[in-house]
């Protein structure tokens, strides 16, 4: 509860400070608040856009949170979501005659598998050789960009396009959309389902008990008979798998093809999402919603005001993270 | 201190406590773990605010909002866990925060002059050496010098001898007596009876937050003191007989165990065995291979040689999971507990897979189990959902003992410093548990730096010195002199 209050305060402080900055730039804070409010709440369509931006952040937020519970800092969600997308693209372009249910189920499993295996490499190296996961996942990010580019421009290439993107997936793979205009799709249910499942796994199962023990008291875990190496690899697999599901949202729900470099940092924003949610899976839902709303309203700020650009969202995000980090620091000190 | 009360979340840590410290005396505050000794001193030092009551110093009423104000009034405190930076010199640690300055730079020369004056002959430490490279005994002196440098007249020491070797303790006591002679007043928080009788003039006993006695040390007996501390007399059960089944096959058999390591902590080919029901004591000064022995037995350290559990080679096995070894580690915070979790969850670390219900952990069963195993240990806590970090050290140790002995019911128990930092009442119940485990036919490896404990419990004692077994003694009676000689 106290954590929740602190997170809320951090958000408020971030927004207030940003408003002060914008008034220094000569935009009235009231205009900005109005614009942001309308951008998010004025119609069902607007709200759908917000939820559309929220969905991938839920996946990446959960991804970072899970790894964190095992004491691992997974900076590689970005790369894992690309490999997940690659796997799901591969599945969709390979099995062309499946009925929709099996097609989508298979594509989801492949997205999870792809991201999971990619992250498990870092988990494996950590468990067997002690290689630091931060370094390994950062490096794997770069490799993933190259690997995806290779396939998109090669085996999966769209022959009718000059853009760096894969061929389109079949209609049976398309996820349900909720309104004509907004790209909000059924992947959001998958995201909410994953949040609940992650929460159950971490807090209600023996697996989660052991993983959390490893994360917060490694030496006790080592002396208690827990199979640490295995748990670390499994936790990384789950973490990467969740990131990989961004591919479901993007490929099956939004673009219907793999556009090179589509993510543009979703995996890194996931770190902020998890931080604000204090790694609590259910809180990730709300924290992702906030970041989704920020992304959406920043776009409208750019359109509707003269002096503010979409970087406003980045500034607010940055300030929020700063305040969250500051409040945690204080607790550690006391 | 008059009528001082302090409560945390409904729990009375101090209840109308009166405490008088005389000029130039050494005053002990005794009591079990969690009796409120540390809380009382934290109030005096301004680390926490009392709910009611007042503090008078030289008849003048004071109220400290922070330790800084307490220090300004001549009060200094050394915490149980030292607060020194390892990478700077002893001198720098002492002056840290109160540096004599010259043009904005630290004036080392001036500091050194001041310190040598304070230190005189008996408090000299190697001023310029990096603190990490000094033995623990010196750390203790540095902490005390920190207080003297800030002109403290009243010194509060929280469990000062817990980490010192017997020789260091002796030196340390001489130092305190000297300080007393110079007119300092000293408060020692302790639960070690011997220290009180050797060192102190007066003793105030706390029990469950209340004063249960205030005595002149010269006018009481040990029994009176124990009575005030734990509310009853010690049963002081000697271990009547050995339960070792000497004809049975060994529970644990170690052959030529060799671990090569640079520096301390190596093992150079030791062999021993433990029979069912036998308690094998391992005596020795700490750092002579005890830790390595434990890690090797747990298969967490690479070794050459062979280890057999009930005639099964344990090489590369997960012995805690597959062979159900019981383990009491020496560092309870880092090696045995999950500090930010509940007592209940701490009761099932390593056992959690026994509480599955379908795919989920059955937390109700976990709580019930925890309550069941903790029942006989009289742990002072609100309930098992409380965070384990909120318990006193002795009570935390009870949680571990209950888990490893009653929860696991192991065939082999490795007990490393099982009663470190634990009060007399708790020591008694821990010893009883270990003995009754032996009675049920389990083998026990008891590693302890308390010679008294080893001699009281063990059927046989081996002495570790520099990674070798330097001597072996058969019980039940031991010549502690000889064991002590074998240690160094």
Q: What is the DSSP letter of A317?
A: H
Distance, C-alpha A315 to centroid of its chain: 19
Closest partner residue to B321 among A200, A205, A225, by Cβ?
Answer: A225
Angle, to 10 degrees, between the axis of helix A281-304 and the axis of helix A311-333? 140
Predicted local confidence at residue A21, as pLDDT = 87
B111 contacts: CB under 8 Å, gap ≥ 6: B91, B94, B95, B99, B100
Among candidate residues B31, B21, B88, the one with its CA nearest the CA of residue B58: B21
If contacts are CB pairs under 8 Å, which of residues 342-401 in chain B contact chain A? 345, 349-350, 352-353, 355-356, 359-361
Report the C-alpha dihedral over residues A89, A94, A95, A101, rounded to 10 degrees: 0
Q: Rounded distance, CA B79 to CA A73, Å?
A: 34
Q: Rounded distance, CA B110 to CA B102, Å?
A: 9
The count of other CB atoms within 10 Å of the CB of residue B338 is 20
Q: Rounded distance, CA B404 to CA B411, Å?
A: 11
Alpha helices in B303-408 (DSSP H): 319-322, 343-346, 363-374, 393-401
Specify whether the CB–CB gap between B475 and B452 falls below 8 A. Answer: no
Predicted local confidence at residue A333, as pLDDT = 43
The CA-based angle B103-B108-B114, given to 5 degrees, is 110
- Please judge whether B329 and A222 are an interchain contact, meaning their C-beta atoms are less than 8 angstroms apart: no
Please report, for chain A, the start and end positions of each structural domain, with discontinuous segments joined by +: 2-18+47-327
- Please judge whether A206 and B355 are an interchain contact, meaning their C-beta atoms are less than 8 angstroms apart: yes
Return the residue matching tokens 């309104």: A179
- Please judge whether B318 and A220 are an interchain contact, meaning their C-beta atoms are less than 8 angstroms apart: no
Coil, helix or strand for B233? coil
Q: What is the average pLDDT score of chain B?
A: 86
Q: Which residues of B touch A226 (CB under 8 A)?
A: 321, 350
B242 contacts: CB under 8 Å, gap ≥ 6: B277, B278, B459, B475, B476
Length of chain B: 488
- Please judge whether B300 and A223 are an interchain contact, meaning their C-beta atoms are less than 8 angstroms apart: yes
Q: Rounded distance, CA B424 to CA B415, Å?
A: 18
Specify whether the CB–CB gap between A198 and A65 falls below 8 A. Answer: yes
At the topology level, CATH places domain A2-18+47-327 in ABC transporter involved in vitamin B12 uptake, BtuC (1.10.3470)
* Residue ranges of chain A whose CB lies within 8 Å of a chain B CB: 200, 204-206, 209-210, 213, 216-217, 219-220, 222-227
Minimal-distance CA residue of chain A relative to B339: A217
Specify whether the CB–CB gap between B347 and B366 falls below 8 A. Answer: yes
Predicted local confidence at residue B403, as pLDDT = 95
Predicted local confidence at residue B331, as pLDDT = 87
The count of other CB atoms within 10 Å of the CB of residue B401 is 27
Q: Rounded distance, CA B390 to CA B387, Å?
A: 6
Q: Which residues of B touch A213 (CB under 8 A)?
A: 338, 349
Q: Which residues of B touch A216 (CB under 8 A)?
A: 338-341
Q: Rounded distance, CA B146 to CA A94, Å?
A: 74
Q: Which residues of B touch A209 (CB under 8 A)?
A: 345, 352, 361
Q: Rounded distance, CA B347 to CA B367, Å?
A: 9
Specify whether the CB–CB gap between B75 and B44 falls below 8 A. Answer: yes
Q: Rounded distance, CA B252 to CA B349, Å?
A: 24
Interface size, chain A vs chain B, as Cβ–Cβ contacts under 8 Å: 55
Q: How far is B254 from chain A (nearest CA, A)?
A: 20
- Secondary-structure percent of chain A, ordered helix, strand, coil, rounded to 5: 75, 0, 20
B488 contacts: CB under 8 Å, gap ≥ 6: B285, B465
Q: Rounded distance, CA B105 to CA B234, Å?
A: 58
Query: Which of the four pLDDT bands, split at 50, 70 and 90, describes residue B238?
Result: low
Domains and CATH numbers, chain B: 2-230 (3.40.50.300), 252-487 (3.40.50.300)
Q: Is the pLDDT of residue B7 over 80?
A: no
Please report how many Cα atoms fall inside a 13 Å half-sphere around the Cα of residue B118, on the Cβ side.
Answer: 23
Q: Give B108 or A249, the one with higher predicted confidence.
A: A249
Q: What is the DSSP letter of A162?
A: S
Q: How far is B354 from chain A (nearest CA, A)?
A: 9
Range from B417-426, B433-442, B448-457 carrying the lowest mean pLDDT: B417-426
Backbone angles phi, psi at A217, to 5 degrees: -150, 75
Closest partner residue to B336 among A220, A225, A227, by Cβ?
Answer: A220
Q: What is the DSSP letter of A205?
A: B
Closest partner residue to B334 among A210, A219, A224, by Cβ?
Answer: A219
Specify whether the CB–CB gap between B227 and B233 falls below 8 A. Answer: yes
Coil, helix or strand for B417? coil
Q: Rounded distance, CA B236 to CA B390, Å?
A: 30
Q: Rounded distance, CA B61 to CA B68, Å?
A: 17
Per-residue pLDDT of chain A in tens (334 residues, 90 and over written 9): 677 888 888 889 988 998 898 888 888 889 888 988 999 998 888 999 999 999 999 999 999 999 999 999 999 999 999 999 999 999 999 999 999 999 999 999 999 999 999 999 999 999 999 999 999 999 999 999 999 999 999 999 988 888 999 999 999 999 999 876 788 999 999 999 999 999 999 999 999 999 999 999 999 999 999 999 999 999 999 999 999 999 999 999 999 999 999 998 999 999 999 999 999 999 999 999 999 999 899 888 888 888 888 888 888 888 988 888 888 755 544 3
% of chain B with per-residue pLDDT over 70: 96
Strands B360-361, B356-357: pairing kind:
antiparallel
Q: Which residues of B touch A217 (CB under 8 A)?
A: 334, 337-339
Range from A294-308, B237-251, B257-271 carrying the lowest mean pLDDT: B237-251
Predicted local confidence at residue B117, as pLDDT = 79
Among candidate residues A103, A48, A77, the one with its CA nearest the CA of residue A289: A48
Distance, C-alpha B311 to centroid of its chain: 35
């Amino acid at each position: 509860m106290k954590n929740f209050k602190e997170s809320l305060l951090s958000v408020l402080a971030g927004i207030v400070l940003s408003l002060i900055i914008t008034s220094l730039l000569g935009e009235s804070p009231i205009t900005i608040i109005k614009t942001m409010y309308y951008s998010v709440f004025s119609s069902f369509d607007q709200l759908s856009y917000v939820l559309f931006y929220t969905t991938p952040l839920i996946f990446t937020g959960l991804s970072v949170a899970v790894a964190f519970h095992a004491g691992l800092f997974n900076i590689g969600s970005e790369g894992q979501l690309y490999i997940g997308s690659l796997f799901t693209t591969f599945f969709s372009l390979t099995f062309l005659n499946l009925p929709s249910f099996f097609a989508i189920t298979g594509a989801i499993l492949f997205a999870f598998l792809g991201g999971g295996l990619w992250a498990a490499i870092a988990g494996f190296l950590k468990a067997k050789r002690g290689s630091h996961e931060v370094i390994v996942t950062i490096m794997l990010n770069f490799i993933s960009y190259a690997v995806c580019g290779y396939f998109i421009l090669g085996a999966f290439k769209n022959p009718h396009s000059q853009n760096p993107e894969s061929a389109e997936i079949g209609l049976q793979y398309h996820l349900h959309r909720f309104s004509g205009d907004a790209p909000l799709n059924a992947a959001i249910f998958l995201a909410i389902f994953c949040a609940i499942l992650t929460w159950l796994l971490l807090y209600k199962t023996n697996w989660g008990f052991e993983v959390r023990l490893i994360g917060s008291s490694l030496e006790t875990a080592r002396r208690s008979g827990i199979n640490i190496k295995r748990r670390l690899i499994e936790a990384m697999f789950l973490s990467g798998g969740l990131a990989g599901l961004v591919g479901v949202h993007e490929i099956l729900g939004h673009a219907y093809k793999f556009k090179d470099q589509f993510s543009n940092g979703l995996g890194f924003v996931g770190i902020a999402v998890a931080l604000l949610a204090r790694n609590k899976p259910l809180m990730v839902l709300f924290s992702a919603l906030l970041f989704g709303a920020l992304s959406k309203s920043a776009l409208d700020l750019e359109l509707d005001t003269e002096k503010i650009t979409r970087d406003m969202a980045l500034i607010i995000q940055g300030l929020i993270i700063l305040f969250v980090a500051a409040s945690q620091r204080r607790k550690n000190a006391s | 201190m008059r009528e001082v009360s302090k409560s945390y979340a409904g729990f009375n840590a101090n209840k109308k406590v009166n405490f008088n410290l005389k000029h130039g005396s050494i005053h002990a505050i005794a009591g079990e773990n969690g009796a409120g000794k540390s809380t009382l001193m934290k109030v005096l030092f301004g680390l926490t605010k009392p709910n009611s009551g007042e503090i008078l110093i030289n008849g003048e009423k004071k109220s400290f909002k922070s330790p800084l104000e307490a220090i300004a009034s001549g009060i200094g405190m050394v915490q149980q866990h030292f607060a020194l930076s390892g990478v700077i010199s002893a001198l720098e640690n002492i002056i840290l925060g109160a540096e004599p300055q010259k043009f904005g730079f630290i004036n080392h020369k001036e500091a050194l002059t001041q310190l040598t004056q304070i230190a005189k002959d008996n408090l000299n430490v190697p001023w310029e050496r990096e603190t990490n490279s000094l033995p623990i005994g010196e750390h203790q002196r540095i902490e005390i010098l920190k207080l003297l440098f800030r002109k403290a007249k009243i010194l509060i020491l929280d469990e000062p001898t817990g980490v010192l070797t017997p020789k260091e303790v002796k030196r340390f006591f001489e130092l305190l007596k000297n300080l007393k002679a110079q007119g300092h007043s000293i408060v020692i928080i302790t639960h070690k009876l011997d220290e009180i009788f050797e060192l102190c003039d007066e003793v105030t006993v706390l029990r469950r937050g209340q004063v249960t006695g205030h005595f002149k040390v010269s006018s009481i007996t040990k029994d009176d003191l124990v009575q005030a501390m734990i509310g009853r007399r010690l049963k002081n059960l000697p271990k009547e007989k050995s339960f070792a089944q000497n004809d049975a096959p060994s529970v644990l058999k170690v052959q030529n165990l060799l671990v090569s390591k640079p520096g301390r902590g190596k093992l150079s080919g030791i062999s021993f065995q433990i029979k069912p029901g036998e308690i094998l004591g391992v005596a020795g000064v700490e750092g002579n291979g005890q830790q390595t022995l434990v890690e090797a037995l747990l298969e967490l350290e690479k070794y050459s040689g062979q280890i057999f559990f009930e005639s099964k080679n344990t090489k590369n096995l997960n012995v805690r999971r597959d062979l159900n070894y019981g383990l009491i580690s020496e560092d309870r915070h880092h090696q045995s507990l999950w500090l930010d979790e509940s007592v209940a969850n701490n009761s099932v670390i390593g056992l959690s897979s026994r509480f599955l219900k379908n795919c989920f952990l059955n937390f109700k069963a976990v709580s019930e189990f925890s309550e069941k195993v903790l029942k006989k240990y009289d742990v002072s806590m609100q309930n098992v959902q409380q965070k384990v970090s909120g318990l006193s050290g002795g009570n935390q140790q009870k949680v571990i003992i209950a888990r490893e002995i009653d929860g696991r019911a192991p065939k082999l128990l490795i007990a490393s410093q099982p009663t470190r930092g634990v009060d007399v009442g708790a020591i008694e119940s821990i010893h009883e548990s270990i003995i009754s485990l032996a009675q049920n036919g389990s083998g026990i490896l008891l590693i302890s730096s308390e010679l008294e404990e080893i001699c009281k419990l063990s059927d046989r004692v081996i002495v570790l010195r520099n990674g070798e077994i330097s001597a072996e003694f058969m019980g039940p009676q031991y010549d502690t002199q000889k064991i002590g000689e074998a240690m160094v």
